[in-house]
Structure formats: C-alpha cells, structure tokens
Amino acid sequence: MTLVLQDRTLKALSLILSYPTKELQQAMPEIGGVLSAERRLTAAARRALRPLLEELQTRDIYDLEEQYVMLFDRSRALSLNLFEHVHGESRDRGGAMVSLVETYREKGFEPATSELPDHLPVLLEFLSTRPADEAREILADAAHIFEVLNTRLVRRESPYGAVFAVLFQLAGAAADKEVVAELLDQPDIAADDLEALDEVWEESEVRFGPDPNAGCPQVRDMLAQMDLPINPAPRAAAE
C-alpha cells in the first residue's frame, strides 16, 4: 500500500521535531516555506516559528544535536514519547505501545525509524497521511500535552516551544486545565542536574511484549487516555 501525503504541515512539523541532521538543514528552506504558507495558523504563530527555523538551517550541526539531546533525550518532562506523559513506566505503556504499532500496520504505515511508535515525530508523520478530520481529532486528544511542553520550553527560553504552540493551534481544542496543572506539577529537572536526573530515571521496567488484553483500537481511542496522566511507578536502580 502506498500512503499519500495529505498534510504537508504535519510532515514539516514531524521533520523539525526529529533529531537534527545535515539533510534536515538542507531541507529547511522548503520546510519553512510550507509552514509560512499555512493559513490554519495565525500570523503570530508563523512568526514565532521563525527563530527555530533559522536555527535549524544555519546553526552548527553539532550544537543543534547537543541542544536536542539535552532537551528531549535527557529530560523526562520534555520527552517526545507521548505515552511517557500518560503511563510513565507502568505496564500499561507496553500494551498501549503494541496497540499503536498494530494501528499503524492496519493503516499501511511502517515507520522508517528506530524510535518508539509513540515518538511524536513518528505520530505526526502517520497523521500527515490521514484525513484532516481524523488527524485533528487525534491532535486534540493530546492538546494538554502540547500545552505543557510549550510551557516548559518557553520557561527554558527554547525556540522549540513554538512548535507545540502550533500543534495546540492545529488541534483546535481546549486543554483540560486540571490535567495540565497535574502534569506541570511533576518534576521538570534541568538536563545538567545529573544527580536529580538519575533519581527520576530510576523507574519501573517497561515491557513491550504481547499483552493478552491488547486489541487493535484506533489510535484516537488510545490517545484519548492522555486525559488520565499516570505517575511512574518506582523501581530499583539498574546495576
């Protein structure tokens, strides 16, 4: 099955949230053109993206890679793996992950990446191939996560915050204020605080094997559970 790209904006957002590469830098003029022409976004939202687009195009690639790792790989509070904000490291995450993979395959989508299936750039690439109403509904289910990530990135004065403001706008839905407040109450530790990071990452093991209770629900049904954030369960530190 050949999937047809239906939403170039979601594809562009998927790319700029991916790990920086020289190929991405070379594609930035085209990506920037797509986003600057997107009339679903306000003029203010399009302007807010410009600093990040310029950085990704012109900044030294090694600086971009370091910045990306420090933000999204070293901090659980900024994780791009969406189920991290829903299930933490509980067993439920494994079943949700298996179901998400099955949903991708049912729709003929095979991610060409080693990232987990709930990685936001992967989900956005999938949604870029889906009908507009379906994509918007799924984004709406994650609206509160987008608001939280935007808030945390703005606090760090990171230009990446503008991407999540854009996603929130494309979702076209209000975020649940109580859920947002609950997520913002969870630890948001600076990436250079190694001792605190070690404590946060000492969590329970995630198992991604088959779950006898896992069916093949639509991705929207799974992402709808993001309204119920679950605190990670503790586990012993790895030796």
Judged by phi (left if over 0) then psi (alpha if -120 to 50, else beta), residue 5 lies in beta
Q: What is the mean pLDDT of each run of 10 residues along the chain (239 residues)?
A: 83 97 96 96 96 97 96 91 73 76 90 87 95 93 92 95 96 84 76 48 42 43 47 37
Predicted confidence at residue 179, as pLDDT, reads: 83
The pTM of the full predicted model, rounded to 2 decimals, is 0.78
Contacts 24+ apart (CB under 8 A), 93-98: 93/206, 94/206, 94/207, 94/208, 94/209, 94/211, 95/211, 95/213, 95/214, 96/214, 96/222, 96/225, 97/208, 98/208, 98/209, 98/210, 98/211, 98/214
DSSP line for 97-111: HHHHHHHHHHTT---
Measure the CA–CA gap between 163 and 152, rounded to whole angstroms. Answer: 12
Predicted confidence at residue 91, as pLDDT, reads: 63
